[in-house]
Amino acid sequence: MSAVLSTTSPAAGSQTSAAATIDGFHLVIEALKLNGIGTLYGLPGIPITDLTRMAQGEGLRVIAFRHEQNAGHAASIAGFLTGRPGVCLTVSAPGFLNGLTALANATTNCFPMILISGSSEREIVDLQQGDYEEMDQLAIAKPLAKAAFRVLHAEDIGVGIARAIRAAVSGRPGGVYLDLPAKLFAQTMEAAAGRASLIEVVDPAPRQIPAPEAVQRALELLRGAKKPLIVLGKGAAYARAEAEVRTLVERTGIPYLPMSMAKGLLPDTHELSAAAARSYVLPEADVVVLVGARLNWLLSHGKGKTWGGKAAKDWGGQKFVQIDISPTEADSNVRIDAPVVGDIGSCVSALLAGMGAAWPRPPAEWLNAVMERKAKNIAKMAETLAKDARPMNFHSALNVVRDIVKANPDAMLVNEGANALDFTRSIVDMMKPRKRVDVGTWGVMGIGMGYAVAAAIETGQPVIAIEGDSAFGFSGMEVETLCRYNLPVCVVIFNNNGVYRGTDKNLGGGADMAPTAFVKDARYEKMMEAFGGVGVYASTPAELKRGVEEALRSRRPTLVNAIIDETAGTESGRITSLNPAAAKKPQA
């Protein structure tokens, strides 16, 4: 490897003029650059250390993390935010496995991401002879990725990267695994032939126009609706279809419900938002248009009491239109009466074209009922927020965050936890698309710092990360990364001394704390100070406000330790009913 480096590394001068050869390292770097990939998220080590060094030398931005899972989450959310695959680079076996949770999470959430892992030598791995970090990584990645590829020859690097890019972003986006064995990086080939073998992918995510008859079927269903509802999912945010979606909502006058990462696609203050009337509109609606949202657990699988069914498995009687790029999504939970398959921009445009200028507004009784319920919930919320509880609870702390986010609509909001997640979602309004990123389809803890790093880097905007104290712990070491790259991230830890709350007792009466309880009054802000960032201890709303506002002003990495009443949280936030013990009890 070192012989190749001596002739091809940037330090030794141009790899073309010295030897007229190019090695695997540089073919990978050039293929990525050719396809507009400017940032790598990763963690160096054998066999990719030199790849990270050389990539930086060749002008790519290399963001090095303290744990691969966080680098992987960063890459995946970069994919969501930009529409180009986010790339994560890891070492073999353990590093690869550390990145795998993020790859699987990307696939589950339909985020385009490529996990590139160095791997050990095939002939040794396949004979299981005990190589350094031996593992059949390709086989392990396959079931968790949308696609998985291995490149064995330098001349195939261009094809390998092109296939990975296409697989990640075309159709339903997802996580792609690219296995690059150590020997590949050292292979050389004639420079001109090497460059000619690289592929600049043309139209990696082609528009997918819906069939006219599918559009007509959807329009007919919608025309007969008395209580129509639109549900906006993060697919619509990813598709950057906010202009088309806004026209659809405003021309039809149909109320809409944003899923968590679709908040802000239209401003949450929009008069047709039914977010504050969720438990009213779902069971009452007669025709529901799903726009880039799956009928998974977050929508109670389209049935049961949430939808007005008598029992958990009952159909509520709604008819569904589903706009989705995946042709196999329809009927996954309940019957979809009008599937419209295509990209959201094209599908919504086709619906609008079919509607013409004069489309009947929904009946006034429906609109009035939704607005009445919404106004009631908003008034109830305003009353709770006005209590300004001390010690701080989730409401009095989020009242501050809500105002700050309103005043800084371009700031990114990262959010994880249980109560810290659920209260933030319903209290903090988002005004612009793709500003809120959170635990997503899996409800996964640990996305926090990875998402915060990538959100800052990809958007250039300040980031506010609202973190449960447990949630933060999954990626907390990355505060060093925030400081190292001097990122404008303000981490706000909602510190209630534990998972859900801090008051649980050891049921056996022993000296060990309960499994959900943490060290009391932990001084998380000192973690940020340890690396040169700003630490703030905030036990009142005024201190919290000052801390976050100053962080936004200074753009310095900041950690605000917001002290929350340790009794304030509920078990699992708003999804208590998913706990097996709770599920045995009849639910209200």
Residues that bind ligand ADP (CB under 6 A): 109-110, 172-173, 233-235, 238-239, 259, 261-262, 292-294, 296, 298, 324-326, 329, 343-344, 441
How far apart are the C-alpha atoms of 225 and 218, rounded to whole Å?
11
Task: Rule CB under 6 A: say whether 275 interacts with ligand OXT.
Answer: yes
Instruction: Give the count of alpha carbons within 13 A of 401, CB side only.
Output: 35
Binding ligand OXT (rule: CB under 6 A), the pick from 44, 112, 468, 557 is: 468
Q: How far apart are the first and last CA of the chain?
A: 66
533/569 with CB nearer Mg ion: 569
Most distant CA pair in the chain: distance in Å?
Answer: 78
How far apart are the C-alpha atoms of 206 and 191, rounded to whole Å?
31
How far apart are the C-alpha atoms of 18 and 8, rounded to whole Å?
8
Q: Which residue stretch of 49-57, 261-269, 350-358, 493-501 sits at the interface with Mg ion (rule: CB under 5 A)? A: 493-501
Q: Which residue stretch of 120-128, 302-310, 494-502, 504-512 sits at the interface with Mg ion (rule: CB under 5 A)? A: 494-502
Strand order in the sheet with 39-42: 61-64, 39-42, 86-90, 113-119, 175-181, 147-150
Using CB distances below 5 to 8 A depending on partner kind, what does residue 439 bind out of ligand OXT, ligand ADP, Mg ion, none? ligand OXT
Using CB distances below 5 to 8 A depending on partner kind, what does residue 418 bind out of ligand OXT, ligand ADP, Mg ion, none? ligand OXT
152/334 with CB nearer ligand ADP: 334
Task: Rule CB under 6 A: say whether 276 interacts with ligand OXT.
Answer: yes
304 backbone φψ class: left, alpha, beta (φ>0; ψ -120 to 50): left
List Cβ neighbours of 2 (8 Å cut-off, separation of 6 or more).
Answer: none
Binding Mg ion (rule: CB under 5 A), the pick from 242, 469, 525, 565 is: 469
Picking from 466, 462, 371, 390, the residue whose alpha carbon sits closest to that of residue 427 is: 466
68/422 with CB nearer ligand OXT: 422
Give the x/- contact pattern for ligand OXT in 347-386, rule: CB under 6 A.
------------------------------xx--x-----
Give the footprint of ligand OXT on residues 407-426 (CB under 6 A): 417-422, 425-426
Task: Rule CB under 6 A: say whether 154 interacts with ligand OXT.
Answer: no
Binding Mg ion (rule: CB under 5 A), the pick from 79, 440, 468, 476 is: 468
Count CB atoms within 10 A of the CB of residue 8.
Answer: 25
Minimum Å gap between C-beta 351 and ligand ADP is 13
Binding ligand OXT (rule: CB under 6 A), the pick from 444, 453, 492, 559 is: 444
Using CB distances below 5 to 8 A depending on partner kind, what does residue 291 bind out of ligand ADP, Mg ion, ligand OXT, none? none
Minimum Å gap between C-beta 393 and Mg ion is 12
Task: Rule CB under 6 A: say whether 500 interacts with ligand OXT.
Answer: yes
Residue 354, amino acid: G
Bridge partner residues of 190 (DSSP): 21
Using CB distances below 5 to 8 A depending on partner kind, what does residue 263 bind out of ligand OXT, ligand ADP, Mg ion, none? none
How far apart are the C-alpha atoms of 277 and 186, rounded to whole Å?
60
Task: Rule CB under 6 A: say whether 292 interacts with ligand OXT.
Answer: no
Closest residue to ligand OXT in the complex (CB)? 468
Binding Mg ion (rule: CB under 5 A), the pick from 90, 273, 424, 496 is: 496
Task: Rule CB under 6 A: say whether 543 interacts with ligand OXT.
Answer: no
How far apart are the C-alpha atoms of 35 and 58, rounded to whole Å?
14
Output the CA–CA distances (angstroms, integers) from residue 399 to 240, 258, 403, 405, 462, in the order listed. 29, 21, 7, 10, 19
How far apart are the C-alpha atoms of 270 and 268, rounded to whole Å?
5
Task: Rule CB under 6 A: say whether 277 interacts with ligand OXT.
Answer: yes
Output the CA–CA distances (angstroms, integers) from residue 587 to 235, 310, 577, 581, 584, in the order listed. 31, 12, 7, 11, 9
Q: Which residue stretch of 141-149, 484-492, 545-553, 572-580 sits at the interface with ligand OXT (rule: CB under 6 A)? A: 572-580
Minimum Å gap between C-beta 517 and ligand OXT is 11
Q: Which residue stretch of 316-324, 363-371, 464-472, 533-541 sits at the interface with ligand OXT (rule: CB under 6 A)? A: 464-472
175/417 with CB nearer Mg ion: 417
133 CA to centre of own chain: 30
56/570 with CB nearer ligand OXT: 570
The 3-class SS string of 494-549 reads: EECCECCCCCCCCCCCCCCCCCCECCCCCCCHHHHHHCCCEEEEECCHHHHHHHHH
216/326 with CB nearer ligand ADP: 326
Q: E strand or H helix at 492, and its extent?
A: strand 489-495
Q: E strand or H helix at 557, and its extent?
A: none
326/503 with CB nearer ligand ADP: 326
Task: Rule CB under 6 A: say whether 402 interacts with ligand OXT.
Answer: no
What is the Rg, in whole angstroms, of the alpha carbon atoms belonging to the chain?
A: 25
DSSP string for 220-233: HHHHT-SSEEEEE-
Minimum Å gap between C-beta 567 and Mg ion is 12
Chain residues in the site for Mg ion (CB under 5 A): 468-469, 496
Chain residues in the site for ligand OXT (CB under 6 A): 260, 275-279, 298, 377-378, 381, 417-422, 425-426, 439, 443-446, 468-471, 494, 496, 499-500, 569, 572-575
